[in-house]
Chains A and B, each alone.
Chain A
Amino acid sequence: MNLILQSKVVNFWAQPFNSQWLWTGVIGGLLFGILIFLGLMFMPAQFRRPVVAFSTFIGGAYWVLLYIFPAPIDMQKTELATGPVESVGKFLTDANPVVVSVSGTVTAFMLGLGIFSLLSIHLKRITRRQKDWAFSVVLLAALASMAFFGYADYISRQGPDGTKLDLQANWGFVNYGRDLLFDGLLQQMDAAMFSVIAFYILSAAYRAFRVRSVEATILLSTALLVMLSLMGAVAFVWNDAVRNMANGNDFLMNFQLTEIAGWIRRTFETSSLRGIAFGVGIGALAMGLRIWLSLERTGGGA
């Protein structure tokens, strides 16, 4: 209860429910969005680029500021900022859920475009009776039924009586329908696809480990050592044999299977993965910077 009450604390980004400021913000935001949308539609193409670049810069600038601008230290919702630096820091931190919601809203609109693409392709296939058109019928039927039963189930679980549906005895048609489609079919098919990977790993490993070159031989022997080290019985017998032969010699103890495998993983695997991670991280930074400053021209000419 306390948390709910705390959420009523006034800040620029979270105005109280039904307040004048909230409605002004909602209507203002809607009008601003429509204006931008119409503006971009009717704007000559050469002017669109600066508008998009400016919007991208503002959008990116928020995240850059959030990263570098000092955030208030251990600040509670009931406390006031002590100076201009803290005020700006609080403003930026408070804006975070709003900015994330805006991204979510835009993505939700784009999902509609994705569904339009699916409908367009598969309806065309059905009407033209193209090859395998029956599969398209199944896909569209699955899409419609999953959306219907999923939403109906969600609605039935809202309100004070919703918790009753935690018991299967209280389920209705839509709840059984959702259970059959989601848990009974979709989850099982997901699991089936995932399990197929085991067989693909086998066939890929067979090709990768064929002794064709020096590199492939090194790969094969290294992988074999690491795999054997994970087999309890093999590792136990190998380590025991080495311990007996080493007779307390520290250097020879390094030849225990688990020691060799550990050395391979610590020395080669970890360092290689970190090297790749550094490269990928720096690449992502460069890409992000180019997009933020609109230096990148997507789909650049060849």
Chain B
Amino acid sequence: MLIADAVGQQYRETGWFGVLFTAILVTFLLVNIQRAKMGKNLYIRRIAGLNAIDEAIGRATEMGRPVLMVPGLSDNVNAIAVQAINIFAYVSRLAARFANPILLCCYNAAVFTLAQEVIRDVYQEEGLLDRYDPDSVRFISDRQFAFAAGVSGLILREQTAATFFLGEFYAEALIFAETANSIGAIQVASSTEATQTPFFIAACDYVLIGDEFYAASAYLTRQPVLVGSLVGQDWSKLLVIALILVGTIFNTITVQGKTTQSWDDKEGAYKTIPERQNDPKQSFIQQLATPFLPKMEVDRPKDPDAEATTK
């Protein structure tokens, strides 16, 4: 019973390694956020897609046509939707300064509510609340292709000069990108879904790939917390790379090795077997991450009330 207290169900499949690794990553992030707060000058590499944001808004201003933004198809307010709205806050801030109309189309009602609050706050902070149009942030539909049809229709009717598709996108990604491309809008896009990134690359002018999406707000606003977090992410990626290298070495050694003995449960001893290659699943790194402990029976007292109701 002491073992049951000490080891939870979730650790029987993944061991302690998952939690330990997450704790190390969290430490990296917090340490770097602290470093940045203390004024340490941290370097961020140039990201072309983010430099294009200013260019896109400038172009929309020159043409006098709206900027369209879509924060993806998140089913709820999650980290991806919040990050997309953070980037759109920057876009809206620039658009507000240049008196450029904006359109922010939402798929989810909760994301819509958040986006509406954030964009209004942006206009208020800029002292340009009179330029804020409450209808510029819109809930379109929470049905994938109805949303796709609605946004495509808006792109065509409003003849948007610049479009930003940032967040979770699925099959509708190409519908948006090709529709905007057909009217010559400058496009900046990013999907956290790796399957949709190639479609954006094919159809859009600038694409943020993978974690560049998460780097965007740090790159654009240079807030110390965000910059520190970004450097922490880089440290974390270095740790992942190191782990992959170590894993490759250990797996290679294991696979190249040979087995000549096998444990016999009945006899309770090792017995000699014909020589065969080791099972890669037995490698150190595999065991570390997925130990798959055997099923364990725990002897617990029964709840008399519960017993009575089930009889």
Interface residues of A (CB under 8 A from B): 2, 5-6, 8-10, 67-75, 77-83, 85-86, 89, 103, 106-107, 110-115, 117-118, 120-121, 124, 131-132, 186, 189-190, 193-194, 196-197, 200-201, 203-205, 207-208, 273, 275-280, 282-291, 295-302
Q: A71-B8, A204-B203 are in contact. Are A80 and B109 (CB under 8 A)?
A: no
Contact A189 B149 (CB under 8 A): yes
| Most chain B CB atoms below 10 A, which of A74, A110, A273, A300 | A300
Interface of A (DSSP majority class) = helix
Contact A284 B79 (CB under 8 A): yes
Interface-facing stretch out of B44-52, B191-199, B264-272, B282-290:
B191-199
Q: A113-B113, A207-B203, A297-B223 are in contact. Are A285 and B22 (CB under 8 A)?
A: yes
Q: How far is the CB of B124 from chain A (nearest CB, A)?
A: 10
Question: Which residues of chain A are near B89, meaning CB under 8 Å?
Answer: 298-300
Tell me whether B164 is interfacial, beta carbon within 8 Å.
no
Contact B303 A9 (CB under 8 A): yes
Tell me whether B31 is interfacial, beta carbon within 8 Å.
no
Provide the bound-state CA to CA distance between A208 and B205, in Å: 11
Question: Which residues of chain A are near B192, meaning CB under 8 Å?
Answer: 280, 284
Contact A276 B203 (CB under 8 A): no
- A69 to B, closest residue via Cβ: B8
Contact A83 B221 (CB under 8 A): no
Contact B178 A203 (CB under 8 A): yes
Contact B194 A277 (CB under 8 A): yes
14 other contacts beyond A107-B109, A204-B202, A273-B194, with CB at 8 A cut-off? A67-B10, A72-B9, A74-B296, A82-B4, A83-B5, A114-B113, A117-B112, A117-B138, A197-B171, A204-B178, A276-B211, A300-B86, A300-B90, A302-B90
Tell me whether B213 is interfacial, beta carbon within 8 Å.
yes
Q: A72-B4, A114-B139, A277-B194 are in contact. Are A78 and B214 (CB under 8 A)?
A: no
Contact B240 A283 (CB under 8 A): no
17 residue pairs A–B, Cβ–Cβ below 8 Å:
A9-B310, A67-B10, A72-B8, A73-B7, A74-B296, A75-B298, A78-B303, A79-B300, A83-B5, A107-B76, A114-B108, A115-B139, A194-B171, A280-B211, A286-B232, A298-B89, A300-B217
